[in-house]
């Protein structure tokens, strides 16, 4: 499709929605340049309400996104996220309230003027016609084509967008031949070619594999940092949203429940209120950002289980046992261990001891009391010598191997410590290094500890005769 045809189509649309006082390059009534930004938020939503017939979808929503800020819009299906994005890009007109982008009231702008301010990556990336990838990306330059003028910067903008999104190798292919994930990246490239100060994205990672989910959100975050764009993205994955966004806005039933930094917004209470589910919210042991684990209804493991071990593997075992319905106690653990944080979040009893201080006195006595009261014990290997001594004569014991737990276990016995998975790896401690942690190894043993496998191991241990091999 040629740029002139796309331009003529947009001009015709402007003529239908305009009142004769609007111009392609700006708002004739105000004389404002739509590419200019005013003091204040780049995206400014003020008391916006919107309904579909008798169904109220948004109710007095107010949200501001500054230049150089990436805000994640999270919430359950049907919360109104897509509707809010539609009000921001001008596709939907609020019944009350107002939306400003770059200081301009979106409702007062022509579609072309609005398209120079805000670019959109929609949730539905279906393309009705058999265009080439390059044609699709070139459509992002439509707002810059006049009826009798070209776009001297267009070719370079298209090339940059293709390169940034990793779609350059698809340039000459039909968009119909691409997978859903590849097509999603092409639509993102189209939005980048539009070169607007504001960017709204509706579930931009929905069709992508894990690698491209991370790359896409990292790309948006980099654009925000390097070019000062304001980005607002509806994101389904809470962990990814917390990892890449500067702030999160939680939308439920058409109302904003909370807005702020991820570690302040993603609490068990807020997640429960928004999604109507119980959840544990703990620092990710690798990234340091909040990680949300929905908790199923309590299972049928009506037992008291004591967990001995440290680190991420022990944390996962604690979580899975609570999910299975067990009454869980834990310890002894060094202060600050991620397993201790997990246990407290899940209201499990925890015995802690000073890091590197050894295990004796009151912590040892408390741990032995829990061991004596437990129906079964889960030992997360390797154990520090002091912890191994605790469980030496205790049966039954279910053992979970965790090859990376040695450094954490050493803290109880004064050995060398490893800050991996604790505050030393928090990405936002310095406000820099987005995504640098992704190459860190994950704990494979913890990943294998599902509620089913741990619970099954406990049941089998209770059913079998005690043996010296346990």
Domain ranges, ordered by start, for the chain: 3-277, 291-463
Split at pLDDT 50, 70, 90, the class of 179 is confident
pLDDT of residue 318 exceeding 60? yes
Do the domains at 3-277 and 291-463 have one common CATH topology? yes
What integer best gives the mean pLDDT of the chain? 76
CATH number for the domain formed by residue range(s) 291-463: 3.40.50.720
Residue 209: CB atoms within 10 A of its CB come to: 11
SS3 332: strand
Backbone conformation region of residue 433, classed left if phi is above 0, alpha if psi is from -120 to 50, else beta: left
Question: Over the range 237-253, which residues count as b (16 or more CB within 10 Å of their CB) and which as e?
Answer: bbbbbbbbbbbbbbbbb
CA distance 382 to 399: 9
Kindly report, residue by residue over 254-269, the tens digit of the pLDDT.
Answer: 999 999 999 999 998 9
Q: What is the pLDDT of residue 236?
A: 92
DSSP bridge pairs for 357: none
- 469 pLDDT more than 60: no
**Is a pLDDT exceeding 90 seen at residue 305?**
no
- Homologous superfamily of 3-277: P-loop containing nucleotide triphosphate hydrolases (3.40.50.300)
415 or 460, greater pLDDT: 460
Looking at the predicted structure, is the pLDDT value of residue 248 above 80?
Answer: yes
Closest-CA residue to 340 (of 378, 321, 314, 366): 314
Q: pTM for the full model?
A: 0.64
- Residue 32: per-residue pLDDT: 40
pLDDT at 405 over 80: no
Q: What residue has token string 């544990």?
A: 280
For residue 202, the SS3 value is strand
442 or 302: whose pLDDT is higher?
302
Q: Which two tokens stand for residue 78?
A: 């049907």
Q: Please report, in angstroms and rounded to a whole number, the separation of the first and last CA atoms in the chain.
A: 71
The distance between the two most distant Cα atoms of the chain, rounded to a whole number of Å, is: 90
CA–CA dist 34, 24 (Å, integer): 10
Q: What is the mean pLDDT of residues 58-74?
A: 96
In degrees rounded to 5, what are phi and psi of residue 403? -65, -25
As a whole number of angstroms, the distance between CA 459 and CA 448 comes to 17
């Amino acid at each position: 499709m040629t740029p002139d045809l796309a331009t003529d189509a947009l001009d015709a649309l402007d003529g239908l929605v305009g009142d004769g006082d609007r111009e392609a390059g700006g708002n004739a009534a105000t004389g404002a340049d739509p590419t200019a930004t005013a003091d204040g938020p780049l995206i400014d939503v003020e008391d916006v309400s919107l309904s579909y017939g008798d169904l109220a979808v948004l109710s007095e929503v107010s949200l501001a996104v500054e230049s150089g800020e990436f805000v994640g819009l999270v919430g359950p299906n049907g919360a109104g996220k897509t509707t809010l994005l539609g009000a921001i890009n001008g596709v939907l007109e609020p019944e009350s309230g107002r939306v400003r982008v770059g200081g301009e009231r979106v409702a007062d702008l022509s579609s072309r003027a609005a398209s120079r301010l805000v670019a959109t990556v929609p949730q539905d990336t279906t393309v009705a016609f058999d265009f080439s990838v390059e044609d699709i990306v070139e459509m992002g330059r439509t707002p810059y084509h006049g009826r009798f003028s070209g776009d001297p910067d267009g070719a370079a903008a298209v090339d940059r967008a293709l390169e940034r999104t990793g779609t350059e190798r698809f340039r000459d292919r039909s968009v119909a031949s691409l997978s859903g994930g590849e097509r999603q990246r092409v639509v993102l490239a189209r939005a980048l070619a539009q070169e607007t100060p504001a960017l709204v994205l509706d579930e931009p990672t929905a069709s992508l594999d894990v690698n491209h989910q991370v790359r896409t959100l990292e790309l948006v975050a980099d654009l925000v940092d390097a070019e000062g764009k304001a980005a607002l993205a509806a994101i389904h994955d809470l962990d990814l949203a917390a990892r890449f966004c500067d702030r999160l806005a939680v939308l439920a039933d058409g109302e904003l429940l909370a807005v702020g930094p991820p570690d302040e917004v993603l609490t068990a209470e807020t997640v429960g209120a928004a999604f109507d589910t119980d959840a544990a919210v703990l620092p990710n042991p690798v990234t340091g950002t909040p990680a949300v684990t929905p908790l199923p209804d309590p299972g049928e493991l009506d037992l008291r289980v004591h967990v001995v071990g440290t680190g991420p593997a022990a944390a996962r075992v604690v979580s899975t046992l609570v999910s299975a319905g067990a009454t869980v106690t834990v310890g002894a653990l060094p202060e600050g261990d991620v397993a201790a944080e997990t246990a407290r979040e899940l209201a499990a009893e925890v015995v802690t001891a000073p890091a590197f201080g050894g295990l004796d006195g009151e912590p040892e006595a408390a741990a032995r009391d829990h061991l004596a009261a437990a129906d079964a014990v889960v030992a997360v290997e390797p154990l520090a010598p002091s912890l191994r001594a605790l469980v030496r004569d205790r049966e039954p014991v279910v053992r979970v191997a965790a090859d990376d737990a040695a450094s954490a276990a050493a803290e109880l016995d004064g050995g060398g410590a490893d800050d991996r998975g604790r505050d030393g790896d928090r990405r936002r401690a310095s406000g820099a290094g987005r995504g640098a942690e992704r190459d860190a190894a994950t704990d494979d043993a913890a990943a294998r500890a599902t509620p089913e496998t741990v619970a099954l191991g406990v049941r089998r241990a209770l059913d079998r005769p005690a043996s010296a091999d346990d």
